[in-house]
Amino acid sequence: MKKIIIVGVSIVIVVLIALQLLRPKLAESSYLKGKTLLDSSRYTEAIVSFDKAIWLKKTPTYFNARGLAKAGLAKDSIAIIDYSKAIGMNSTVAEFFLNRGVSYRKLKKNESSLQDINKAIELDGKNSKAYYNRGLLMATQLRFDDAVKDYNKSIELDGSNVEAFYNRGESRSHLNDFMGAISDYDKMIEGSNGTADAYKKRGGFKFSIQDFNGAESDFSKASELDKNDKEIFYNLGQVKYNLNKMDEAIENLNKAIKIDNNYAIAYSVRGGSFLKKSDFKSAIKDFNRTIELKGDFYKAYYGRGIAKALSQDYKGAIADFTKTIELDKTFAQAYYNRAVSKAILGNHQDALADYNYIIEKDPKYSEAYYNRGVSRINVKDMKGGCEDFNKAFALGYKPAEQMIQIYCGKDVIVQ
């Protein structure tokens, strides 16, 4: 009996020794399996494999890998614990600091993120991902100049990272470097990344530099690739409007509104398109809908005011221009058109205050001088009226010549 017990104990000891000898190989096998799952974005299964690898053998590489899998599940808080363990075991590996820095950034812990990413760069100055991620961090803090510098370095080290071009283009656009942004998106689209979003963004940059034909081409391509993005059709409608293609503008804005029946700005631009076509009834209807959806959108009130004025509803126009001014006290054209509407109704004294404001803001607005001259004549200020007609003519407004000859009793005086 005693011999049997001794033999049994010996077998257990042998098994334990064998297990200890095999632990590193078993751990590595579990790690490699987990890595394959991680690369396939099967994060939950990957964590199970990494758990087993860590149980068998604790290494910084295994903790780092498990951290990546947890981060893949958006569990960055607990991923940081694993990265910290990896760093505690080996603080000379840039990747560990970088991964922890990325998770800190996702958690909006910017100071900790910057500290870790800087450390990663200190350890490995040729780590393109570190510069790229620091660029992302700079951009989230609106430090676009610094972001561009980091994206530049990342691209210099690894020109295959398409996301670096994408994000550098975004940062450049925030710096109003639209040509640079277009250049970055050109590089993206030339490859296999000609997505609807890429064409939409590039089209937006071209629109910003008033390359309306280029923007039209990009937005058209984007609309072929994605027929459910309201912004694409809205942008295409806006470009068509600027190219004076009103029917095509309305067609694309109809598509945007079909996707989103509450798309306020699309109604406003469509209203503007109807206005350009002299369809004042349809324009007013669209501006009404815009105001119903977004009551503080001053351009809708202004557009409706223009449509009412052109429909000879001057009282309604004045009310809309007044509302426009309440919402944006610097919108000079609202003052000008309110003044004109007041003058048409014979309220010349009231019109003068608006003309005065406009001329103060733009001393070279020849037509404003001319119309103020008309109102001054109507309130019996002949001297002031003639001064305004002469000023308007001096600024190149030819109709002022006849008014000078009629009201000022002398030949044209060029100032």
pLDDT tens digits for range 197-217: 999 999 999 999 999 999 999
- Residue 46 CA to residue 25 CA, distance in Å, equals 18
- pLDDT digits 0-9 by tens, 288-317: 999 999 999 999 999 999 999 999 999 999
Instruction: Please return the burial class of 169, using the count of CB atoms within 10 Å of its CB with bins 0-12, 13-18 and 19+.
Output: buried
SS3 73: coil
Whether residue 13 is predicted with pLDDT greater than 80 in this model: the reply is no
- Residue 113 CA to residue 125 CA, distance in Å, equals 17
Whether residue 224 is predicted with pLDDT greater than 70 in this model: the reply is yes
Domain count along the chain = 2
- Percent of the chain residues past pLDDT 90, beyond the cut: 88
60 lies in some domain: yes
Between residues 28 and 255, which one has the greater pLDDT? 255
Residue owning tokens 């979003």: 197
346: left (phi over 0), alpha (psi -120 to 50) or beta: left
Q: What is the CA radius of gyration of the chain?
A: 34
Give start and end residues of each alpha helix (H) in 158-245. 162-174, 178-190, 196-208, 212-225, 230-242
- Percent of the chain residues past pLDDT 70, beyond the cut: 93
Query: Cβ distance 101 to 129 under 8 Å?
Result: no
- Residue range(s) defining the domain that contains residue 357: 330-415
- Which pLDDT belongs to residue 377? 96
117 lies in some domain: yes
39 lies in some domain: yes
77: CATH: 1.25.40.10
Residue owning tokens 């003052």: 335
- Residue 101 CA to residue 132 CA, distance in Å, equals 12
Tokens standing for residue 191 = 């490859």
Segment 161-170 shows an average pLDDT of: 93
Query: Cβ distance 373 to 388 under 8 Å?
Result: yes
- pLDDT digits 0-9 by tens, 387-406: 999 999 999 999 999 999 99
pTM of the model: 0.82
380 lies in some domain: yes
Between residues 12 and 215, which one has the greater pLDDT? 215
Of 95, 123, 151, the residue that ends a domain is: 123
86 lies in some domain: yes
- Which pLDDT belongs to residue 3? 52
391 lies in some domain: yes
- pLDDT digits 0-9 by tens, 232-280: 999 999 999 999 999 999 999 999 999 999 999 999 999 999 999 999 9
- pLDDT digits 0-9 by tens, 310-343: 999 999 999 999 999 999 999 999 999 999 999 9
Whether residue 16 is predicted with pLDDT greater than 70 in this model: the reply is no
342 lies in some domain: yes
**Side chain identity at 44, as an amino acid letter?**
T
Of 66, 93, 123, the residue that ends a domain is: 123
Of 123, 141, 171, the residue that ends a domain is: 123
279 lies in some domain: no
- Which pLDDT belongs to residue 24? 84
